[in-house]
Structures are given as structure tokens and as C-alpha cells.
A and B are shown apart, each in its own frame.
Chain A
Amino acid sequence: MSVIELSDVSRAFTVRSREGFRRTKREVRAVDGLSFTVEPGEVVGYIGPNGAGKSTTIKMLTGILVPSGGTIRVAGVDPSRNRVQLAKRIGVVFGQRTTLWWDLPLKDSFAVLQKMYGVPPARHRANLATFVELLDLGDLLDVPVRQLSLGQRMRGDIAAALLHDPDIVYLDEPTIGLDVISKARLREFLAQINADRKTTVILTTHDLDDIEALCTRVMVIDHGRQIFDGTLPTLRASQQAPRTLVVDLATSLPPLQVPGATVTKVTGPRQHLTFPPTTSAAPLVAHIAATYPLVDLTVAEPTIESIITQLYTPPEAD
């Protein structure tokens, strides 16, 4: 059974503006006809540009916003009608906000959470021990939260969101502002929790490396509508993004003449050539090697960023 089900969900906001004495009301559809299901244990990347409707969707999934139309079921219940009951089964992390007690040691926040969610003491101790080990929180438990670095605080926030064994966690930009090592560590932890506990993870992010590292499935939303839902390889294949051949020559030359490929950039002896994803690189390489003083070359697959950018910008305006 699906753990999250959305069927034709939409959410409109009324925007009031005033010009002189005239008041105007305008309806903005933040989410428009969204339908999808998520199975238990899936790790779903939920991505889209700013204002696409990501946060609105998450708010509806947690029950703090009712949809204007359509139906939502999360863990078998209607979120907005069972908000408090559902709160015990979900965990939420906002990268830019903290739920920890600012002036108190980290362990105090965890103690309050244990009472808040009614976690049996033995279970709480076991969970805490696991998270302390995996997230390396041992030395931080007695440190007031305001003295923690951003990366340390985020580890604390993630542990806080998972202490009550939620079925589903929503992570809203959990790696924002973190350095490369902290990011990698957090991703490793999330992957492990998902593997061990079958926790369903919904991840919204602008950092596509998060998606590459964690997500088995990607959903792309823009202007409140879903424009892609599938695996990362499918996403790559679905877009006709060109591949790139980077050629290092013995000397600087004018742009190369290669049938089936075009030079897009020349920097000294290095030249970048793009070619369609349907073409094989082998004949191009053979031609270049035979005609020019080739020293080295690499073939670059399109980055996920370039694919997403292509998705966000429709080929023609309608």
C-alpha cells in the first residue's frame, strides 16, 4: 500500500493588491492538478525552481495547509484533518530553521522530544545511541545549540526529526550551507537510515548532488505541475541533452572541422565539441586522432543540472 497518495491536488492562494483606491484580487495556483503515489521505503527527490510549489506540497502533506481541490492520504489518513495524530508518524527538517532549543545543550532538546512523542525510554535510548554513533554527536550532547556549527546543528536537527521512528521524513534542503564533507556525511547517514529502517524520505533540494547520491526516484515540479516523474537514468535519457567531447591538442589551433560535431569552446590547445546523444563517440575520436595532433581526450555526459535546466525552460513559449 502506498504511504503517500495524491490525486488531482491543487492549491490556490488569493493575492490582494491595491493600486490607489482600487483593490484587486487575483488567484494564484501554487499547485495545479498534482497526482502521485510514494511507496514505503522510497527515497524521492522533489525538485523544482523557486516558487514551483514544492513547499506548498510539503505543507499539504504534513497537514498544515488544506488543498483547494483533490485528495491527499498520508499513512492512510487525511493530513489536515489528523494533523496532530499524523505528526507522530512524520519527521520534518527545514534546512533554514531549527527545532532545537537554542540556549540549552543538545541533549535537552532530545529529552523534550522523547516526552513529546511518547517514545518508550528504552527505544529512545537505543535510537539516541544509534544516532550519536552514526552522526558523531557524542561530544556535542552537552554543548548549547547556539555554540554548534551549522553542520553540527544540522546533524542535531536530523537526529531530532528521526528520534520517534517516523514512517516518513520530509527534508527541506537539509544540506543548504554545508561544506562538502558535512554534506557527504549527512547523505551517508540518510542512506543508511533508509536501508535499515525502510523510512520513506521526501527530499526537496537545489543541490542535485543530494539527488544523485540518495534518490531512487526524481519528481520535477514547475508552475505547480509535475513535469517529470521517474528514475535518474530515465530523466537523463528523456532529455536530448548533447554530450561533450573535450580534446587536448599538442598546439593551439583554429576550431576543428569534425563531421557530426560542433566546437563550442576553445581555450588554448583545449577544444570542446558537442555531439547528439544518439551518435557514437568512436568515429569522432577516430577522425580527430587521424587528422589533428591529439594528446588526450575525455567524453563528458550531460550534467544533471543541464538536464534540469532544459526541463525548466520549455522549448517554446505558449
Chain B
Amino acid sequence: MQVTGGGTGVAAGEEPGAAAKARRRVGPYTLITALDDPRTGLPVPERRHIARSADGRHTVLLSLPRPGADAGRFLAEADGSRYLLGPCAAPATALAGPGEPAWYSWPYQPVLPLPTALAVHGGPLPERTVRALGVALAETLAVLHGQGLAFAGVSPAAVLLAADRPRLSCFGAVRAAAPDGTPRSGLPGLEAGSLPPEQASGGRPRPLGDVYALGATLAYAATGHTTPERDELPAAFRTVVARCLSRDPSTRPQLAELIDALSIGAGTDAGAGADNRAATLLTPGWLPGRVIAALAHQSAAVLTAEIPVEAPPAPSADPGTSPVSRPHPN
């Protein structure tokens, strides 16, 4: 199996010229391939692509709102993500200007959405991977909560696996899907199992909602679905993940508890401090071999991909669409 996060075949260099010419342009970018593989069947709140600037110099991960989604809320969350801190945050570095169709982007690196990683691996991920994932994401959420933010969008598809650590994308997907006060159950793009009940009913996303969503996402990594039977979960963190999935936010664990529970018995250095447990887990072997192979395959295919070079359009042909934050000032 060689699913690489591109259902359309990432090896664009092999495409005939006609297909290459048909590539879509979005803002200053030409699309190379889709990041998500629809065959995984999990909802994705955004349409994500690997894309490249017209001069060929900058390859990015580019997100667009789903068809019919509110572009304004999408852009507002993208704008908010620019200030995210934490090792696994994925802040937008460029976004569409006023009047332009909505998009945001951040620099490309090889990543696999979590559902693709399971498909590539051939099933649920090893316990070691789940622990590392859980601790790294929990540490980043703790930073975020310290900034006074709720992520509101943790889901299997939002988690991207990179070589060194996971990245948390799709910031604010729940808020973008519908404003507070509007029921969100069944909205397109939101994965039901990782949507906290209080947010599904229209409540304002809060930090303990992120704990629920993270629990569901870890359950997915360990079992292949977000609403597992209790005994499907690995015994080592069965209890704590089940507590994350409590309907009542007040009975969910704090992130520090979750980090402790996931670290126990995983050989982490207790002296590493509560805010740096992930580093002791993200060591060689944290990702299974086939996931690394898929990352390398994606990287090689994107290195090989070539976008069609066109004569630069006359400056007057494109009025009033200069992005608010010009992409790639260098």
C-alpha cells in the first residue's frame, strides 16, 4: 500500500502535460495534490492541498474552506492561528487578502493526516506511537490554554504526523463550522466522535472540550475509531482516555493528568519536567516504518513535482487582491 496523503497520485512529475496544465490556481499558488485521501472516510473540516508559488520557490500546505462554508469565519480562525504557540502548533503564515477567495497556508513539510497514517500502517498505531502523540498534543494544548485559547477542532484529520512530531492543524474548526448558540451536530467537516457534546449542542468551545476531542483522537489512533468500546483501548491508558470522553466536562482529566497517565511506564525521564515529556517519547521508533516510508515517498514526489510555468500576468489583470500578509517576504 502506498497511500501518501494524496488520492490523486502525488508524483506529478509523471503526469502528462495536459493534466498538469489543468491544475488549479488558488491565490498565488498552483495546486500540486490534495493532502487528504477521501478513502479514509473521515471528515476533514478544510480542503487541504500541497501547493507551490508561481515562481516555484515556495511549497506550502494550503487550506481552503469546504464548499458552502462561511469564508469569513474560516479566515478569522486562520488569522487567529497566526499567534499560536506550542511545539505542535501549525500557525498560518500567509492568508488571502480582502475580496480574494479564502485560503491560508504554512510552509510545506512532509506530513500525513492521522487517518492516512492508519491506512498506510495497515491498522491502529502501536501503543508507543499513541503515547508520544498524546503527550505531544497535550503539551501543546496546555500551552494554548495558557494563552487563553481553546483549540476547538482537535480531530483525527486535524492531527498531521511529521517526522519529528505531530502538528495540530484546523485551528477553530468547530467555531468556524457554526457560531456559538447554533447546534453543530452533523455539520459537514466535523467528525462526530471527537466533537464534545457541549460543543455539539452549540456551546462555546472551552479547554475541557479539547480534552474530550483529544481523548477521542487518541482512541482513534489506538483502535481505528473515535468511539471505541472501553476494552478495545490498550489497558495502559484505558481509564484516562475513557475519562476524557466523559459527557460531563467536570469529570474529564486535566491535561497534566493525561500527560502523566500516558507517560507512566513509557520510560520517560521523570526529571524531564512536566512540560517536556514529549521530547523523551519522540525518539527514533516513535513512528512505524511504513508511516516513515510514506512520508519519504510524499517528500520525494513533491520534490519531483513541477508546476507549469506561465508568463507572468500583467500587473493590471489582478487588481485589489493583494494578500494582507504577503506570502514569503523573503
- A and B from one complex: no
